[in-house]
Every structure is written in structure tokens, then in C-alpha cells.
């Protein structure tokens, strides 16, 4: 069976997209495209895109569409022969969803599935408050103080750097990000439902249970090419 599916992971921040992506990426040509990771790398490198994005990210706001669309296009163009991908954190607005549709059309490609992760809001807030990540460029391991602590407290298992709380995972910013999701991103569910692409996953269980359900679902969906 082809492993080159083109999949969008949709769900609020903290729904478990990143954890799920790590496990699903083998079904998607090994290409995990997370715009949040790309933007954080740009901020850390002090690039013009990073300087533009930082102020929005620190507030928990969305980075303007034209900036993020440019970042994603560049990522897709980097590897023109790859067919599959797993999009994590993109699209987040109708304008981004439409731009993605056009980008794929130009490449004569279509999406195979949009996985909608349903996770209750109180669980999301708890998860995000307990999330810690490795700030080292190229590492970026993600931990959770309650469910997935690093082996040595406060230090990354992979590279030994001190793990930190993302500045946008502070409680006041978490609320702002969840509000943004409801206003800007939740309407995409209807956009993709109209195209018969939405598959719902329960994100409240363990990472193993969620990924097993998602894998089984993707295997049933298959790929359009
Ligand atoms: P994430 O790691 O996906 O939670 O993204 C972290 C932050 O990066 C978000 O709160 C936004 O400020 C920004 N960001 C990531 N992806 C997008 C996107 N598709 N559109 C707008 N802003 C984004």
C-alpha cells in the first residue's frame, strides 16, 4: 500500500497533533510539515520571517496569512519529488486552506484526508501547561511533566539541553490561542466536510490509543494516487 498520503491534522493547540504526527508520518512519505516548528526555527535564527512572526507568536496570535503561506510553499518546494506529507498546524484560516488547495492543484495533487482531533478544552489547558520542550535548534523534543517527563528532570533525553516552557504555553496565552482556534480555524471543519475529507479522532485517550485509531483510519482511507 502506498505510504504517500497527503493529510492535514486539524485540532486546537494541545489536542495532540504533534504527538500524533510523530507516529503517523511514516504513512505520509516521512514528511511532517509543522508551520509552528518552522516559525520557531525562523525566530531562533533571527531571519526576516522570524522577526515578523515573533510578535504575533508571543501574543498567541496567528502570524499573518501571507507570511505563513510563504513558509509552507517554501517547505513544499524544497522537496518537489515527494508526494505525501502530514500538515500539522496548517491551514489555520480559510485563506490558508484556499491557498493550500491552489498549491496542490498546481502540483496536480489532492488531499487524502483531514484528521480532526477532538479533545476537551479542560484537558487541553492541562496538557499545554505541563508541556515542556527542548529549545535546541534541530532537536525540539517535546515532553509533558505529567504524562511524558524527560528521564533526567529538566534535561532533554536526546541532547541534554535544559527543557523549557514555550512562552506561548503560559495560561493567559493558552486562552488566547484557544479563542483564535474557535474563531479562525474551527470553520475549516465545514470547509473540508463539504469536500468529504473529514475523519474524526478522539484525542482524549492515551497517545497510543489515539495514534492506533488514526493509523487504522488512514489505512482505510488509502490515497488518491
Ligand atoms: P503551533 O506550534 O502549531 O502551536 O504554533 C505556534 C504559533 O505559531 C501559533 O500560535 C501561531 O502564532 C504561529 N503559527 C503556526 N502555524 C500557523 C499558521 N498556520 N497560521 C498562523 N500562525 C501560525
Instruction: Verify whether residue 126 is a known catalytic residue.
Output: no
Ligand 1 neighbours, Cβ below 6 Å, are 13, 35-36, 39, 56-57, 60-63, 68, 89-90, 92, 96, 168, 177
Ligand 1, atom nearest to 64 Cα: 21
Instruction: Verify whether residue 177 is a known catalytic residue.
Output: yes
Which residue of 8, 92, 167 sits with most ligand 1 atoms within 8 Å of its CB, as the best mutation to test the pocket? 92
**pLDDT tens digits in sequence order for the chain, 225 residues long:** 567 899 999 999 989 898 899 999 998 989 999 999 999 999 999 999 999 999 999 888 999 999 999 999 999 999 888 889 999 999 999 999 999 999 999 989 999 999 999 999 889 999 999 999 999 888 889 999 998 999 999 999 999 999 999 888 888 888 889 999 999 999 999 999 999 999 999 999 988 999 999 999 998 887 767
Contact 7, 24 (CB under 8 A): yes
Instruction: Verify whether residue 17 is a known catalytic residue.
Output: yes
pTM score, two decimals? 0.88
Amino acid at each position: 500500500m502506498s505510504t504517500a498520503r497527503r493529510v492535514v491534522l486539524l485540532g486546537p493547540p494541545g489536542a495532540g497533533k504533534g504527538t500524533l504526527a510523530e507516529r503517523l508520518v511514516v504513512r505520509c512519505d516521512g514528511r511532517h510539515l509543522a508551520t509552528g516548528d518552522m516559525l520557531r526555527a525562523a525566530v531562533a535564527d533571527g531571519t526576516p520571517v522570524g522577526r515578523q512572526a515573533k510578535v504575533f507568536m508571543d501574543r498567541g496570535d496567528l502570524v499573518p496569512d501571507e507570511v505563513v503561506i510563504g513558509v509552507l510553499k517554501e517547505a513544499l518546494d524544497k522537496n518537489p519529488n515527494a508526494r505525501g506529507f502530514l500538515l500539522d498546524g496548517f491551514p489555520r484560516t480559510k485563506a490558508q486552506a484556499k491557498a493550500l488547495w491552489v498549491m496542490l492543484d498546481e502540483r496536480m495533487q489532492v488531499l487524502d484526508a483531514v484528521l480532526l482531533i477532538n479533545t476537551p478544552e479542560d484537558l487541553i489547558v492541562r496538557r499545554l501547561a505541563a508541556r515542556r520542550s527542548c529549545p535546541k535548534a534541530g532537536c525540539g523534543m517535546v515532553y509533558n511533566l505529567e504524562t511524558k517527563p524527560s528521564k533526567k528532570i529538566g534535561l532533554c533525553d536526546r541532547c541534554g539541553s535544559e527543557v523549557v516552557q514555550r512562552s506561548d504555553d503560559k495560561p493567559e496565552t493558552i486562552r488566547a490561542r484557544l479563542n483564535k482556534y474557535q474563531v479562525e480555524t474551527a470553520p475549516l471543519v465545514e470547509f473540508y466536510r463539504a469536500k468529504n475529507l473529514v475523519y474524526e479522532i478522539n484525542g482524549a485517550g492515551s497517545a497510543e490509543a489515539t495514534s492506533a485509531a488514526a493509523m487504522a483510519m488512514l489505512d482505510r482511507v488509502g490515497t488518491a494516487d
